[in-house]
Chain A
Amino acid sequence: MSYRLGVDVGGTFTDLLLVDEKSGNIHTAKVPSTPHDSSIGVLNGIERVCKSAKINPKVITHVMHGTTVATNTILEMSGAKVGLVTTKGYRHVLQIARSFVPGGLGGWVIYNKSLPLAPLALTVEADERVGADGQMVGKLKVSSLERELRRLKKKGIEALTISLINSFANPKNEKEVARVAKKVFGRMPVSLSSEVVPEMQEYERTITTVANSYVRPKVEKYVRNLTRELGKKMGDVKLHVLRSDGGLASAKAAASHPVNLLMSGPAGGVSGAIWVATQAGFPNILTFDMGGTSTDVALVEDGKAQLRRETTVGDVVVRASSVDVRTVGAGGGSIAHVPELTGALRVGPQSAGAAPGPAAYDKGGDLPTVTDANVVLGYLPTAVRLGGDMEIRKDLAVKAVKKVADPLGLSVKEAAAGIIDIVNENMYGAMRLVSVEKGYDPRDFALMGFGGAGPLHANALGKLTNAWPVIIPPGPGVLCAYGDATTRVRDEASRTLIQKFHHTSPKELAGVCKKLAAQASKTLDAEGVPKKERSTSFEADIRYHGQGLSLTVTFDVADLEKKGLDLIGDQFDEMHKQLFTFALPEDKEVVNVRAVAQGEATHVSAQSVGRGSKSPAAAKIADIKVFIKGKDRKAVLYNRAKLKSGNVIEGPAIVQEMDSTTLILPDHAGTIDDYGNILINPL
């Protein structure tokens, strides 16, 4: 008998999902989160879920966990004091960054740049040089470096980053610097750019490695604590952490390369969405995860999320694979305002966040937010509270929204509807980024809405994108826990090549691939994943010689050896045409090659809700009024926990559960499927 456990720690609730590996049966639990030390909440949850499953915690062999510790460390700027070693002449690499000033013509007038993650005062230079082709141009001058490092030591750095020019082509000097650093600093964590992200472009490689150092001590501590606490309760259990790219990393890998965890939270949501959607029979979905301050969207084709080679957290953009989640600064807390000069209605990017929060929460916020607009319109009912202990004050919401209604010359309800329309439009912009702009037609996808506010806006987004059905899975927290519990162990190894097609051969490329495959599967060896349960896939970033950005194609090494470089070349031409309407007769080049090794997916079956009749009457809570399309309309409020498979809810209707609320619009109906998902379609 063996069990695995998925754990999602949210701001309010911690959700757990226990899977019996043999039968695929599941048990869930929801407990309050404990922000000061989230392991307490996790352990409470484990107790709860084991009790309901009637098992001893010791039979749980794997714990899978998505965490926002790394993300929050950057957002709150609460990371380590990081020292940085660069090549001589490059001390200002983070200060200059890419010289980019946002905001268009004249944007510099109001732009204030944030400070680098590794302060300049803690950045030193190493006298050494490697050429672009990996040739040693200058040997490292050890004694001057040692002096500089001792100076850093006096300043009390907590982590060290080494990022030297062209180290992606030859890591020898970085390793040499690391050796000297070990002598000076002993056990302090050291991150090497040639290990964290051995790819061309010095700024991107440096910021990525520095971000790794910056979050590392916190993540290490968190993982160590959790491992220890879990061990006390469950003995020999393996903790895995979800990576930004939706794969699983061992606790050890997570702690040493935490830069790969920056999108761990959203990746959990997307993985869960994929799992739920696949169960429900929709392999192509757009995910729509709307929270308090921001909204994440992603595109899933054939049960696989699109990945990209970039992760963005706040101001920081790093080179690490992540699920291609686009984030817009639009959420429940986004503040609406009307600039006096133009009289336009703007929503966000400022957010009231959790504090002071929306006006309706009565926590000190008095500016109109998206949540307040939802309250004004009756989409967030105040009468009945099912979960949480937050009181919602409609009078305060009305007062806040009036602040934008007056200058617009609209009624409070009309202004509230305007706020909702505009925030929906902003989110629609993000959905277009992942779909139409990449050559996908949203009509070929279903739309899955989750997160605290997603189910309130998902129906409207369905109307804008024409992606049907709109799927509202049960419980946003559970969704992430599903994602955690059902993902696979994954690792990847990559290398920058920059080879023109006519300068390389299928044989040479295949050789590189095989080396990378061996490297990537080391993690799986350590995890004890049996060879027959593994799969390895290969990716190459290709471009026309002379272009700056590349497109990623996937391929099979055996095919490559058989069919030659045209295998990837043709695929690239095809993609280029799909995305940009044209292909070119120019020579192509391989920029990067990657091998991705994965273990087998866990078999889990979804929890089904009981079968019911077409009428949802049994779940009805009350008759209410909502303001839609310019007038007040009668609507019905339902309790989600009581809905049965086969129930059909006609809009306008509101469905409430512990941690989210779903709005079904007029002329639409939501059908409950076997797993408790609400599938909304136009009538």
Chain B
Amino acid sequence: MPAKIVETRPKPFNRVKIDPITLDIIENAMLNARWEMDAVLFRTAMSPGIREQGDAFPMIANLDGKMVVGQFGSFIYGFKEAYDGTIEEGDIFFMNDPYTCNGAVSHANDWLLLRPIFKDGRLVSYAAHFGHMTDIGGKVPGSLPTDARQIFEEGIRVPPTKIFKNDELQEDLFEVILHNCRMPQWNRSDFNAIIASLRTAEKRVLEMCERFGDDVYYSGLEELLDRNKRAMQKLIKDTIPTTKQSFEDYICDDGMGMGPYKIKCSLWREGNKAVFDFTGTDPQSIASVNFLLNEEMFKMFCGVYMIMVFDPQIMFNDGFYDLIDVHIPEGTLLKPNFPAALSCRTHALGRIFDVLGALLGQGNPDFLNAAGFSDSPHLMYSGHDKKGEWYQLFQIGFGGIPGRPFGDGPDGHSLWPNFTNVPNEFLEAYFPLRIEAYETIPDSGGAGHHRGGNAIHMSYRFLEDGEISIHDDRWLTKPWGVNGGTPGMRSTKLLERADGTKELLPSKCDNIVVKEGDLLHFNTWGGGGWGDPLTRDPEKVLFDVEAGLVSHDGAKRYGVALKRDGSVDEKKTASLRARMAKKRGKTQVFDFGGTIPELKKRCKRETGLEAPATPVFQSWNRGDEAAKPKRKAAARKKPAAAKKPAAVKKPAKAKKKATRSGVKRRKAA
């Protein structure tokens, strides 16, 4: 049963004509409201992930639930389909279980709050906001257990629930939820902060209705949705060919010694519509790297990537959703069946952006960016200090922005919107550690006409005994370069014990015991290079060498020879470049730095770590009926699909372009 909307004075809105200027003004006012939501949240939240790093996503939707302003697209349609209850004035819905909200949030750490906005007894809009909680209980501090096999191991799950009724907080319920978290005071504050942000949005929406009139507000939102649709229609027709193109990329491993996992997407145009098909993506993992990808959200990613270069000021919205079809096969890494574990979905989420960029760009290499989206590397560090107080750090790291048609990728910056790093002095003041180095790694960005951004090297000296967890990727596969650019450096983690012994840590691990005085070197990945490095202005290479961003030897990757006094040796450079160009031959659109079999073969030698084993996919039995959520999820309409073993999989055929050659590395379970 879909949700029932209860209006005390139901009356349809009139669609009125709106002049273009008023429309632009409404657009501006909506944008202001959205920024205000973020401002309120960031100022009052406590989880450093939200507060300092900006891991939170606001949205205002029209009365049908279509996102008019926000970032990650609307999930309200799926929520309404799945929620078997009423939507009333004074309600605020709370949910964090991805399976019961159709992937509106993709792991349970993201707490989503949704507010229907009523005016004079009529529903006029929705506001929603979600943010990443530092901890929601479960088997490890931080609630992102690498070795979880079921979502039940990943902390408390809340299906769509009215946490406010009649604008009254359901305190008993809320306290039960908090009781399950390791840092309840943070969750409480973050929750309050999100509520404050929703109330701000509501205030602004009501003000706009007053200022323009309800019908104009309603019609303005409709028109804004239409405007996006028209723009996207043109873009789809102009840029997406009818012939099918495919691209595949990988997440390196699952944290349980198996990998890599393939994400494959094909794209073509059918009439007015763009079709994205994920057939060929690997089956779901038995570990927690699955990513329940909401189709609507994926449409938003596509739209934003397509339009960014044409009108960056646009307020991007859901209006074009009818123009994109997304097909994700059930039981795969991107549409796992309940109760598969989901907490470590960040790797696949990040990789989706690399796949998308390549897919949209390969037909038009001038607009193609190199790879950079490893994911968002996390470090957790927790324990009891000498005074017996619990400390718990959750930190997101950054790497190199890829080389792009627009220029070099910045070093050590964030690919995620509005994220910032945490000041190291802040870390040292609040957690028992010392950051001994915070610098970018020379030569870690891929060489190119536009250089990939450098990775970050961060050294944590632990001042208390405790445990750490690490979540990262791109340690086996490389951030690829494009149009002649070379791949960026892969990520590494090295633990230097106080006694001087050194241990390489895997890219994903939990419960690593650290002692006072141990030093962790956390190295992220570099961005891939864009364009032929042999055409980069030697003076720019020299500039980077003088800055220490590229080494003397690194300059040779650009075919640049330097004299003893440090200046460019033009003659030698010219001959070096000619030699290199001859040896290399014609540049390829993509440079992956080797096929998967090659990378696996060289793995131990190059990374010091064993190559991951070929994944084992188990046939997924949903198990005991009682474990299922009471409210049926919209995306799980066909229970029959769950009984099918999802694992039988044909080896992918080698594609000429954009795929690594002959992949025959998996066995059916």
The answer to whether A and B belong to the same complex is yes
Interface residue ranges, A against B (CB under 8 Å): 88-93, 95-96, 98-101, 103-113, 119-121, 129, 131-132, 137, 165-166, 168, 200-204, 339-346, 408, 410, 417-418, 421-422, 425-426, 429, 432, 437, 498, 544, 546-549, 576, 579-582, 584, 586
Contacts of A418 in B (CB 8 A): 20-21, 24
**Inter-chain pairs besides A96-B412, A425-B29, 5 sampled, C-beta below 8 Å:** A90-B437, A99-B414, A110-B404, A132-B428, A341-B235
A206 to B399, CA, bound (A): 22
Contact residue among A105, A108, A345, A429 (Cβ-Cβ distance under 8 Å from B20): A345
A89 to B32, CA, bound (A): 39
A89 near B313 with CB under 8 A, answer: no
Q: Contacts A101-B415, A437-B39 hold; do A422 and B438 have CB atoms under 8 A apart?
A: no
A92 near B231 with CB under 8 A, answer: no
**3 shortest interchain CB distances as A-B pairs:** A89-B437, A120-B547, A132-B428
B42 near A549 with CB under 8 A, answer: yes
Residue on A with the closest CB to B44? A580
Interface residue? B420 (CB, 8 A): yes
B392 nearest CB across to chain A (Å): 11
Interface residue? B43 (CB, 8 A): yes
**Which B residues, 298 to 338, have Cβ-Cβ distances below 8 Å to chain A?**
300-301, 304-305, 307-314, 316
A131 to B432, CA, bound (A): 11
Name 16 interchain pairs, CB-CB below 8 A, sorted by A: A103-B308, A106-B305, A108-B372, A108-B415, A131-B428, A200-B425, A201-B426, A339-B311, A342-B311, A343-B20, A344-B311, A417-B21, A429-B28, A548-B46, A548-B52, A584-B188
B304 near A106 with CB under 8 A, answer: yes
Contact residue among A99, A346, A579 (Cβ-Cβ distance under 8 Å from B398): A99
Q: Contacts A95-B411, A99-B421, A547-B51 hold; do A106 and B313 have CB atoms under 8 A apart?
A: no
A546 near B423 with CB under 8 A, answer: no
Q: Contacts A121-B546, A132-B429 hold; do A201 and B412 have CB atoms under 8 A apart?
A: no
A421 to B27, CA, bound (A): 13
Interface residue? B477 (CB, 8 A): no
A495 nearest CB across to chain B (Å): 14
A259 to B426, CA, bound (A): 24
Interface residue? B548 (CB, 8 A): yes
Contacts of A204 in B (CB 8 A): 423
A425 near B411 with CB under 8 A, answer: no
B196 near A586 with CB under 8 A, answer: no
B452 nearest CB across to chain A (Å): 12
Contacts of A107 in B (CB 8 A): 308, 312, 417
Contacts of B189 in A (CB 8 A): 544, 546-547, 584, 586
Contacts of B165 in A (CB 8 A): none
Interface residue? B242 (CB, 8 A): no
A344 to B196, CA, bound (A): 32
Contacts of A90 in B (CB 8 A): 424, 437-439
A98 to B52, CA, bound (A): 10
A581 to B459, CA, bound (A): 40
Contacts of A99 in B (CB 8 A): 398, 412-414, 419-421
B526 nearest CB across to chain A (Å): 13
Interface residue? B406 (CB, 8 A): yes
Q: Contacts A92-B438, A339-B311 hold; do A580 and B428 have CB atoms under 8 A apart?
A: no
A422 near B24 with CB under 8 A, answer: yes
Residue on B with the closest CB to A199? B425
Interface residue? B631 (CB, 8 A): no
A113 near B235 with CB under 8 A, answer: no
A121 to B546, CA, bound (A): 5
Interface residue? B193 (CB, 8 A): yes
B304 near A96 with CB under 8 A, answer: no
A342 near B231 with CB under 8 A, answer: yes
A546 near B186 with CB under 8 A, answer: yes
B547 near A341 with CB under 8 A, answer: no
Contacts of A429 in B (CB 8 A): 28, 32
- Most chain B beta carbons < 10 A, residue from A110, A129, A132, A165: A132
Contact residue among A109, A165, A341 (Cβ-Cβ distance under 8 Å from B406): A109
Q: Contacts A99-B413, A422-B24 hold; do A200 and B304 have CB atoms under 8 A apart?
A: no
A584 near B192 with CB under 8 A, answer: yes
Interface residue? B434 (CB, 8 A): yes
Over the window 185-213 of chain B, the binary record of Cβ atoms lying under 8 Å from chain A Cβ atoms (1 yes, 0 no) is 11011001101100100000000000000
B547 near A119 with CB under 8 A, answer: yes
A547 near B44 with CB under 8 A, answer: yes
Over the window 594-618 of chain B, the binary record of Cβ atoms lying under 8 Å from chain A Cβ atoms (1 yes, 0 no) is 0000000000000000000000000
Interface of A (DSSP majority class): loop
B444 nearest CB across to chain A (Å): 12
Contact residue among B230, B309, B423 (Cβ-Cβ distance under 8 Å from A109): B309
Contacts of A132 in B (CB 8 A): 425, 428-429, 434
Q: Contacts A101-B413, A341-B231, A437-B39 hold; do A92 and B440 have CB atoms under 8 A apart?
A: yes
Residue on A with the closest CB to B43? A549
A133 nearest CB across to chain B (Å): 8
Contacts of B415 in A (CB 8 A): 101, 108
Contact residue among B36, B45, B230 (Cβ-Cβ distance under 8 Å from A547): B45
Contacts of A165 in B (CB 8 A): 424-425
B413 near A202 with CB under 8 A, answer: no
B301 near A93 with CB under 8 A, answer: no
B312 near A110 with CB under 8 A, answer: yes
Over the window 368-393 of chain B, the binary record of Cβ atoms lying under 8 Å from chain A Cβ atoms (1 yes, 0 no) is 01001000000000000000000000
- Most chain B beta carbons < 10 A, residue from A96, A410, A426: A96
Contacts of A103 in B (CB 8 A): 308, 312, 417
Contacts of A417 in B (CB 8 A): 21
B414 near A100 with CB under 8 A, answer: yes
Contacts of A581 in B (CB 8 A): 195-196, 199
Residue on A with the closest CB to B25? A425
Contact residue among B21, B305, B314 (Cβ-Cβ distance under 8 Å from A421): B21
Q: Contacts A121-B546, A580-B43, A584-B192 hold; do A341 and B234 have CB atoms under 8 A apart?
A: yes
Residue on A with the closest CB to B211? A464
- Most chain B beta carbons < 10 A, residue from A202, A344, A432, A586: A344
A96 near B436 with CB under 8 A, answer: no
B425 near A202 with CB under 8 A, answer: yes
Contact residue among B43, B410, B417 (Cβ-Cβ distance under 8 Å from A105): B417
Contact residue among B25, B32, B423 (Cβ-Cβ distance under 8 Å from A203): B423
Contacts of B192 in A (CB 8 A): 582, 584
Contacts of B20 in A (CB 8 A): 343-345, 408, 410, 418
Contact residue among B21, B307, B414, B420 (Cβ-Cβ distance under 8 Å from A345): B21
Contacts of A340 in B (CB 8 A): 310
A120 to B21, CA, bound (A): 46
Contacts of A89 in B (CB 8 A): 435-439, 459
A96 near B186 with CB under 8 A, answer: no
A91 near B304 with CB under 8 A, answer: no
Interface residue? B456 (CB, 8 A): yes
Contacts of B436 in A (CB 8 A): 88-89, 129
Interface residue? B67 (CB, 8 A): no
A203 to B301, CA, bound (A): 32
A582 near B413 with CB under 8 A, answer: no
Contacts of A342 in B (CB 8 A): 227-228, 230-231, 310-311, 314
Interface residue? B72 (CB, 8 A): yes
B77 nearest CB across to chain A (Å): 20
Contacts of B228 in A (CB 8 A): 342
B549 near A544 with CB under 8 A, answer: no
Contacts of A582 in B (CB 8 A): 44, 192, 195-196
A633 nearest CB across to chain B (Å): 19
Interface residue? B86 (CB, 8 A): no
B227 near A105 with CB under 8 A, answer: no
Contacts of A408 in B (CB 8 A): 20
B193 near A586 with CB under 8 A, answer: no
A344 to B548, CA, bound (A): 44
B227 near A344 with CB under 8 A, answer: yes
A426 near B28 with CB under 8 A, answer: yes
A422 near B419 with CB under 8 A, answer: no
Contacts of A168 in B (CB 8 A): 425
B240 nearest CB across to chain A (Å): 15
